C-alpha cells in the first residue's frame, strides 16, 4: 500500500489518542519508520502490522479499527488535496459509489503501482443499493463500511451499511447493502 494509507493511520491515531500511543503502536508493530512518504509504496504486511498493533494497543477489534479508519479516510484524503477529485466523482452518495472505479483510475495516474479494488453497484429499490467490492487484499471489508459511512457524512445523507456476502465466509467477493435517505427527502 502507498505511504498515504500508513500516514493516515498514523494521523488517525495521533489525532484521536495522542503521539505517545502512536509510538507504542509503531514499537508493537516493529516499524521503525517515523514518517511515511505518501507517494511511495510500502509492503502490505507493514500496514497489516500497524492495524494489528493499533488494535491491541487501543483494545479495539481490527474490524472496529478499520471501520473507524474508513470514516477517517474520507475526511483525510479530502484535506490532503484529493477533495477536487472527490468532487468530480459525484455530488450524491449513490453517484459517488457508482463512480468509485473512475475515481481510482484518476488517482492511479499519480500512483503508478496502485492496485485498487473494483466496485460495482446495483440499484435495488429507492434508497437501497448493493455495493460489490472486489479486492485482491483480504480483510479490508470493514474499511469499506466505514468509507460508506464517511461518505454519508460528506453528502449529509443518513446511511446504514449491512454486509450481505463476505470473502472470509467463502464468497468470491464482498457485498454490502447500502440503505440511504436522499437529503431531498429528509424533513
101 lies in some domain? yes
* pLDDT tens digits along 28-81: 999 999 889 988 999 999 999 999 999 999 999 999 999 999 999 999 998 888
Task: Give the per-residue pLDDT at 82.
Answer: 81
Q: What is the mean pLDDT of residues 107-135?
A: 90
Is 70 exceeded by the pLDDT of residue 186? no
Task: Give the per-residue pLDDT at 114.
Answer: 80
Which domain covers residue 41, as residue numbers? Answer: 3-60
For position 166, which CATH number holds?
3.90.1520.10
**DSSP string computed for 48-60:** HHHHHHHHHHHT-
Q: What is the mean pLDDT of residues 144-170?
A: 95
Are 144 and 176 in contact, with CB atoms under 8 Å apart? yes
Distance CA 177, CA 113 (A): 30
At 177 the three-state DSSP class reads: strand
Residues 97 and 152 reside in one and the same domain: yes
Task: Give the per-residue pLDDT at 187.
Answer: 65
Q: For 2, which DSSP code?
A: B
Number of domains in the chain: 2
129 lies in some domain? yes
Strand partners, 180: 159
Its pTM stands at 0.92
83 lies in some domain? no
108 lies in some domain? yes
39 lies in some domain? yes
Residue after which a domain boundary falls, among 60, 83, 102 = 60
Amino acid at each position: 500500500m502507498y505511504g498515504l494509507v500508513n500516514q493516515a493511520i498514523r494521523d488517525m491515531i495521533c489525532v484521536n489518542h495522542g503521539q505517545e500511543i502512536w509510538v507504542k503502536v509503531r514499537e508493537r508493530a516493529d516499524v521503525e519508520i517515523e514518517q511515511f512518504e505518501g507517494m511511495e509504496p510500502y509492503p502490505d504486511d507493514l500496514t497489516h502490522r500497524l492495524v494489528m498493533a493499533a488494535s491491541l494497543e487501543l483494545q479495539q477489534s481490527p474490524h472496529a479499527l478499520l471501520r473507524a479508519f474508513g470514516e477517517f479516510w474520507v475526511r483525510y484524503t479530502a484535506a490532503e488535496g484529493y477533495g477536487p477529485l472527490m468532487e468530480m466523482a459525484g455530488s450524491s452518495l449513490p453517484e459517488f459509489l457508482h463512480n468509485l472505479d473512475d475515481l481510482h483510475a484518476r488517482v492511479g495516474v499519480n500512483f503508478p503501482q496502485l492496485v485498487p479494488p473494483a466496485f460495482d453497484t446495483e440499484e435495488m429499490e429507492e434508497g437501497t443499493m448493493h455495493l460489490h467490492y472486489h479486492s485482491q487484499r483480504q480483510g479490508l471489508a470493514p474499511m469499506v463500511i466505514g468509507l460508506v459511512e464517511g461518505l454519508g457524512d460528506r453528502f449529509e445523507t443518513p446511511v446504514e451499511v449491512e454486509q450481505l456476502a463476505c470473502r472470509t465466509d467463502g464468497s468470491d467477493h464482498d457485498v454490502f447493502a447500502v440503505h440511504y435517505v436522499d437529503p431531498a427527502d429528509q424533513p
